[in-house]
Copies of this chain bind each other. A is one copy, B any other.
Amino acid sequence: MPEKPITRRAFLEFGGAAALTAGAIGLTGCSPQGQEADEARSAATAASENVSWDKEADVVIVGFGGAGGAAAIEAKRAGAEVVVLEELDHPGGSTAACGGSILMADTPLQKKFGLKDSVEAFYDYMRAAGGAAANQEALKVLCDFSPQLYDWCVGCGMDFEGGELYPGPHINSFNKKGYTLFYTGNEQARAFAEITPPVPRGHSSLPNSSGADVFSALQSTADALGVEVLTETAGKRLVTDAEGRVVGVSAEGKDGEIAIRARKAVVLTAGGFADNESMMAEHYPHTNRHGQSLISAGNENGSGILMGQAVGAATRGMGCFQIGKPLSTMSDALPRGVLVDGHGRRIVAEDEYNTFVGRAIMAASTERCFLILDDRTETEGGAAKILGEPVATCNSIDEVAAAVGANPAVMGATIAFYNESASLGEDREFGKDPQFLVPLEQGPYHVHACGSEACVIGTCGGLKIDTDAHVLDRDGNVIPGLYAAGRNSGSIFGWYMGSGASVADVLTFGIIAGRNAAAESGSEETAA
């Protein structure tokens, strides 16, 4: 028996302990016995003394998306030698694939348009949007850092001030070339406007106001600084030394395995796990099935999270997901529709931000939900392009009820009450903006399938980090030499991952991770 009493702290510390002791194996040259143990050893976190380094740098970054790019730039600027590993043949990750909006407050661009904002108001909104599952301390850091982030982005070559303020309500920055400031979330929804006055905070960069613009600025900045990037090189395992410090990464490269030593630290920025079906099955909490991944990069395989867990990292918010159903964020007209569940009951204000619409669909008492549009909205909203062809086109609400499979009296009451609200100019149920309150009183009505299977999904959970981007073990202790940012870090936003929120987080904590990684005193090359 160990001499020391087993405190609860020590007990809970096991997660980290496993890796620490595993690391010690190589150091002392002892080895497990038996076939299982051999397998185990080949799979275990490598011990530094077992590793012949193929390469080394001060800071090794796993994943070259927005977070990895920001971390690489800041580590390099701080004088560190940096190597970035990217498993695909091209960098960019989710950041390059997303809408490219960056939520920031109290910025020169807002001032240019005469808008009054503050980091405090930003924090009030984000707390309300993120809910109890959000990491309040991290949110505070993100909001407070926001004016500096603006300057940082401009310093990387992003152009915000050459663009216009988008005049409409919250809308995604897709296809809004020339506009660089938007409402991007639920700022204008009744429940949130009551908490803090709506202000547009979504900043997009010219020329195309897209995520590609954001990432190309990061990539060219990293290139100019001389950051080394290894593409088609997938981080697989963290290498630890006898004290359990993370001292490198074992990766699968174009020519097989390579081991890269990190003199100072490793930063995990390899994205979420929406494409990893076993992790999704483990953590996805809803009874309604989920749709496809929101992420087009297609490699949200959770590898960074698994690498961290393998050295005892704790996770946070693994049950939190961004569930999006873009109605208002893809069209100015679609919010004029009525979104009902399979009982024919309306479930949400159709103009809310897509993650709030998506959550309402996931929480509906029926898996099947439907968006009902009149002929004008169908056409003006580009519904067929965004939602696919209608499952039915009906001449009466009774026909709509039949198409939905709802009781016609329930559907009739839903529409009658909604139409009365429209005539009163007030959505008495959910407070939808009156501009979208158009009565459904004239067929044909187009019925679009709008259930959970049609919601895009992104993961919010990941490794538990502190506000310095250190990865923490199950007892809240820092795992030395290891940082995480972006979707490899756990649910800063709780459930809220609205347009602009994710990239703001990705850049802010990527910057913090890069700076802190470069400032590490680092590990000595332990002699055999």
Contact = CB atoms under 8 A, between A and B. Distances in A.
B283 A6 contact: no
B1 A244 contact: no
A65 interface: no
Interface string A34-51: 101111111111100011
Interface in A34-76: 34, 36-46, 50-52
Interface string A449-486: 00000000000000000000000000000001000000
Contact of A5 (B257, B289, B430): B257
A369 B284 CA distance: 25
Interface in A1-54: 1-6, 10-25, 27-34, 36-46, 50-52
A14 B310 contact: yes
Contact of A244 (B36, B243, B256, B318): B36
Given A6-B42, A17-B44, A132-B287, 12 more contacts: A1-B250, A1-B259, A2-B50, A6-B252, A13-B43, A14-B237, A14-B310, A21-B21, A36-B244, A319-B319, A410-B417, A413-B413
Interface stretch (A143-151, A262-270, A343-351): A343-351
A100 interface: no
Contacts of A284: 319
A242 interface: yes
Interface residues of A, number: 95
A481 B463 CA distance: 30
A508 B1 CA distance: 35
A309 B13 CA distance: 12
Interface of A: 1-6, 10-25, 27-34, 36-46, 50-52, 131-133, 236-237, 242-244, 250, 252, 256-257, 259, 282-287, 289, 306, 309-310, 312, 314-320, 343, 345, 347-348, 359-360, 363-365, 407, 409-410, 413, 417, 428-430, 480, 494-495
Nearest to A29: B30
A417 to B, nearest CB: 5
Nearest to A28: B30
A6 B236 contact: yes
Nearest to A242: B33
Given A11-B237, A46-B1, A348-B365, A40 B17 contact: yes
